Structure 1
Amino acid sequence: MNTTTEPGNPTGTTTGAPVFSVQNLWKVFGPKADQVPADPALAALDPAGLRARTGCTAAVHDVSFDVRKGEVFVVMGLSGSGKSTLVRCLTRLIEPTAGTIAIDGEDVRAMDRTRLRELRRHRAAMVFQHFGLLPHRTVLDNVAYGLEIQGVGKAERRARAKEIVAKVGLDGMEQRRPSQLSGGQRQRVGLARALAVDPQVLLFDEPFSALDPLIRRDMQEEVVRLHREEGRTMVFITHDLSEALKLGDRIALMRDGRVVQLGSPEEIVARPADDYVREFVRDVPREQVLTVRTAMRPGGCGAPDHPGALPPDAVVADAVKAVARSGRAACVVEGGRCLGVVDHARLLGVVAGVESPAKEAV
């Protein structure tokens, strides 16, 4: 959703210092778990070999990444890949075995109980698949609960909760109980409760996986809207590739506790790192993910103000329609400057998965 590119940051993500910085993170379950990251021979074993040798499972295996301010960072993988364990390690809901985690440069693993409580209450709020709403409380009081825990006065917290209830589309439902709400409405209450404490980061652990498809799509749109309006940093866990592609500025694709590829949705679809990723993205409609930046021929076009000009983040599907309507190649324009040209043949080549034309200019 955000495509600002920073020198030395080819993934096209939000610039600035990282909110979360994770380096060489491990979470190992089993006897003498701390020996696994420290022993290169054990660390190099595949999951079956590690279990046979030590009885241990590396749910998170030497993972490193940064989450930058204002981006939606998606961690995706199948069941058992380690994605939910990873997000719980960020706030030490699960204690890591080894590695470093920092939020705004502060060492999370060194935090005492008081500082850790402050992290979870104020700085990084979780939104879970299971809403955990208090059944005897109204929508308004559920949303205000985190503020109550923080010691915010009743009038102030209810005013803040009412504002957030309206923001997530539940205006008029403030006095209902959770039992009177649909699944999608209950999930909106869970989202509102997390937003009410104004966290620096929202952490989503497969929040929509139990919802019906139409409700799930509505909630995805809600996340997109909130991110567009507020620019809030989000870490989103999902097993659904279409959800990851829709929401993520960058995606970390996990398998057996490892990150097998980290990049923008466009990078992952256009240049899968291995056969596992290639199989994952095989059925993705490329024209809905890849942009004209991938398809264009670099160079000036002489008419950057032409009405058929396209922005570089326009998806190929829209570009095909624009070129077909005009009957001519289209300029790719950013900031009044022509970056390149796309024509029908190049666009269809990208859709068909032909080697990226952009490589011709290298």
Structure 2
Amino acid sequence: MTESVLLDCRNVWKLYGAHAGDLLKKTPNPDRETLRAHGVIGAVRDVSVQILRGEIFVIMGLSGSGKSTLVRCLSRLVEPTAGEIFFEGRDLLAASDSELIAIRRKKMGKVFQQFALLPHLTVLENAAFPLDVQGIDRKTREARAREVIELVGLKGRENYYPRQLSGGQQQRVGIARSLVVEPDLWFLDEPFSALDPLIRREMQDEFIRLQNMLKKTIIFITHDFDEAIRLADRIAVMKDGAIEQVATPEELVLNPATEYVAEFTRHVTRAKVIKAATVMQSASAASFGGEVAHDAAIEDIADAVEASEAPFRVMRDGEVIGQIDAQAVIDVLVGRR
């Protein structure tokens, strides 16, 4: 395992049903029909994936696809039926109960769809609660809690109770509480799905801002592809407990590995995921109308590039790597690319 890999999941299964473990021993890689014939449900089926340090890794799929069960296996909130999980190079499945508690308290943060705030505690007390559980003294834990409360934009509301907050503000408290322990790995299970569309967009903006500051390793579950492509470095698409494909948002749309992934991404606006570097040409113009980042989405640069008579430079790490013109942008917008 390389140092860039924080979490390594190898051939993980989670089966429900009588003698499910025995079935795997007799039939190492049973298909869905075999599982069904033995009355076993394959919630997670032979999943192997590596989560890289500092990336936002999105797991998505329809309801019942196994995404939440997989994440619970990765944190051992659910015990896998078979497979291996290594966290920071350590066998997570071999950790004792006390070791696992310490890892969850100090190394992992979690935010779920339900805010799960304690109604009798203030914002400050809710945010500081994980440190209270660890036995951290009040002065230290409240000082740290004030830092994360300010980080998520709730400064001035430290003494409010959850009932006095909007849904988006309550979710910010949940995020602050998960960040207070400074986790190495952050699990977010559809954290914004209960919010109204406008608040959800605001929370996505806030999430992007926080990640740009903190550079956390994040596993994010969603069933919303627009949310996934906005947030993800890489996406795993799940179906019936198995991973169909792991790729960048752009790769999923341009090169789907299966018919299911193709159908899943068919109606995605391509301009949201195709990057400038993908459609650029060699930099040959005598003059340029401006410059864009190599990883800028076409949707974000379309107006400026189309309005210019001269092409734009495409930049990476301060260097010109190509050019993009109005025709290339138009080709993407009308579906020719």
TM bucket (normalised to shorter chain) is over 0.9
Aligned to 2:333: 351
Q: Determine which of 291, 294, 299 is the counterpart of 1:317.
A: 299
Q: Report the 3-state secondary structure (helix = DSSP H, G, I; strand = E; otherwise coil) of the residue aligned with 2:45.
A: strand
> For residues 283 and 330 of structure 2, what CA distance do their matches in structure 1 show?
21
Q: Report the 3-state secondary structure (helix = DSSP H, G, I; strand = E; otherwise coil) of the residue aligned with 1:34.
A: helix
Aligned to 1:217: 201
Pairwise CA RMSD of aligned residues? 1.9
Shift, 1:312, TM fit: 1.1
Q: Determine which of 81, 89, 93 is the counterpart of 2:77.
A: 93
Contact 1:27 1:61 in 2 (8 A): yes
Deviation track 1:169-212 (CA, whole Å, cap 9, x = no partner) reads 11111112222222211111111111111111110111111111
> For residues 302 and 190 of structure 2, what CA distance do their matches in structure 1 show?
34
Contact 2:279 2:328 in 1 (8 A): yes
Letter of the 1:344 partner, please give it: A
Q: Report the 3-state secondary structure (helix = DSSP H, G, I; strand = E; otherwise coil) of the residue aligned with 1:218.
A: helix
Aligned to 1:270: 254
Shift, 1:353, TM fit: 3.9
Q: Report the 3-state secondary structure (helix = DSSP H, G, I; strand = E; otherwise coil) of the residue aligned with 2:54.
A: coil
Q: Determine which of 268, 293, 296 is the counterpart of 1:284.
A: 268
Letter of the 1:17 partner, please give it: S
Aligned to 1:201: 185
> For residues 281 and 222 of structure 1, what CA distance do their matches in structure 2 show?
25
Aligned to 2:10: 23
Deviation track 1:73-121 (CA, whole Å, cap 9, x = no partner) reads 1100110000000111111100001111111101100000111001110
> For residues 274 and 188 of structure 1, what CA distance do their matches in structure 2 show?
37
Letter of the 2:133 partner, please give it: I
Q: Report the 3-state secondary structure (helix = DSSP H, G, I; strand = E; otherwise coil) of the residue aligned with 1:237.
A: strand
Aligned to 1:301: 284
Q: Determine which of 244, 253, 273 is the counterpart of 1:260.
A: 244
What pairs with 1:210-249 in structure 2 (closer than 5 Å)?
Answer: 210-249=194-233
Q: List, as ranges, runs of 4+ consecutive aligned residues in structure 1 with deviation greater than 4 Å.
A: none
Aligned to 1:58: 42
* Structure 2: 5+ residue stretches without partners: none
Aligned to 2:29: 43
Contact 2:275 2:298 in 1 (8 A): yes
* Structure 1: 5+ residue stretches without partners: 1-14, 357-362
TM-score after normalising by structure 1: 0.87
Contact 1:19 1:104 in 2 (8 A): yes
Contact 1:26 1:37 in 2 (8 A): no
> For residues 209 and 283 of structure 2, what CA distance do their matches in structure 1 show?
35
Shift, 1:292, TM fit: 1.3
Shift, 1:162, TM fit: 1.3
Shift, 1:330, TM fit: 3.2
> For residues 222 and 330 of structure 1, what CA distance do their matches in structure 2 show?
30
Aligned to 1:78: 62
Q: What percentage of residue pairs aligned between the two structures are identical?
A: 45
Change beyond 3 A, Cα 1:165–1:279: same
